Structure formats: structure tokens, C-alpha cells
Amino acid sequence: MEFTENPWKTLTSTVVYDNNWLKIRHEEVITPSNTPGIYGVVSFKNKAVVVVPIDQEGYTYLVGQYRYPLDEYSWEVPEGGAPIGTDLLESARRELKEETGLEAAKWTMIGRIHTSNSATDEEGFLYIAEELSQGAHEPEETEQLQIRRVLLADAVQMVMNGEITDALSVCALLKIARLKRI
């Protein structure tokens, strides 16, 4: 049996936190079992754009940075935010250039994902960037980045070894591994 109608009823919705990147709502609800409940929802003000650049030799580029919420260093594919209502591909191009200095002549969208759909409405859009040319990277003032060029197969192995744990990167790299039969 397929369920398509929303069984939840929202009684009240109150914004309890709001900044330039996200908004958090506290909601009083009636659950699918017809009982009262509460729900917390994190709404993002950007769509996530994820780019796996692949050069002609089969290498990709990873970006390393310290992730404040995790209190640890993270290796990821280039990624960032596309403000709601803006062009996703243009945002992906911008993020690739900012973080790696790379530009790509060929772009392929390979998927759309939800990062943690039990608590957030965040959507991620996955791209492959090919036919690369190198320029200077232009990180944002809040970013202190390292760039690493690795074989695509090695990046996939980093996912399998737990060295890459960022959900967006994991999804993009594993999808590409399947598509390219790595």
C-alpha cells in the first residue's frame, strides 16, 4: 500500500531561531496516530550544491576543512549553498571555483538528495564537473581549505574506509562509483 497524503496536522508553528543560513521551528502537531505531539524542523535558506570534479586522468579534488559543529577535520568534495530561488548550476560553478580554482566546461546533474529528512528540509543537488581548467581558488573569509587531488577510485575507498563521512560527499562519490562502475 502506498501512502501519499500527509497524515500529520500542524496546530501551531513558532520560529524559535533564525539567522542568515537557517530557521528552526517548534511545532505543535497531531501525529499520524491521532495523538498530540511536538516537532522541531530545521529549514535551510540554501539548497546544497555538491560537485565532484573529475579530470581527464581520472582524478578528483577533495577539500579539507575544520567543521565547527563536529569539532573535527573533514575531507569532502567541493560543496556549498545555492540561495533559494537562484540557479543551482551557477551556484555549483561558483563553489567549485571558490574552493578549488577549477572551472568545468561539462556539467552533469546526477541526483537530488535529502540530508536528514526526519529533522530538516535540506536538499542537495549532485553534479559531476568535467573538462576542467585550473585557476586560482577564492575561498570565503570563513574558510581555511586544503585541496587534495586523488584518484576517483581512492576517494571512493576513503568513503568505504570512513575517512570521508560528510553525507553529501558520500552520496555523490558512491553514486558516481556506481555510474562509472568503479
pLDDT tens, N- to C-terminus, the chain (182 residues): 677 899 999 999 999 999 999 999 999 999 999 999 999 999 999 999 999 999 999 999 999 999 999 999 999 999 999 999 999 999 999 999 999 999 999 999 999 999 999 999 999 999 999 999 998 877 677 778 899 999 999 999 999 999 999 999 999 999 999 999 98
Give the pLDDT of residue 94: 96
Q: Are 104 and 93 contacting, i.e. CB atoms less than 8 angstroms apart? A: yes
Residue 3, Cβ neighbours under 10 Å: how many? Answer: 7
What is the structure's pLDDT at 68? 92
Domain boundaries, the chain: 9-44, 46-180
- What pTM value is reported for the model? 0.91
What's the pLDDT score for residue 1? 64
Q: How far apart are CA 19 and CA 126, in angstroms?
A: 25
Please tell me the predicted confidence (pLDDT) of residue 138.
Answer: 75
| Dihedral pair phi/psi, residue 93, rounded to 5° | -60, -45
46-180: CATH number: 3.90.79.10
Give dist(CA 38, CA 28) in Å, integer: 5
How high is the pLDDT of residue 151? 98
pLDDT at 118: 93
Tell which residue, 125, 130, 118, has the closest CA to residue 172: 125
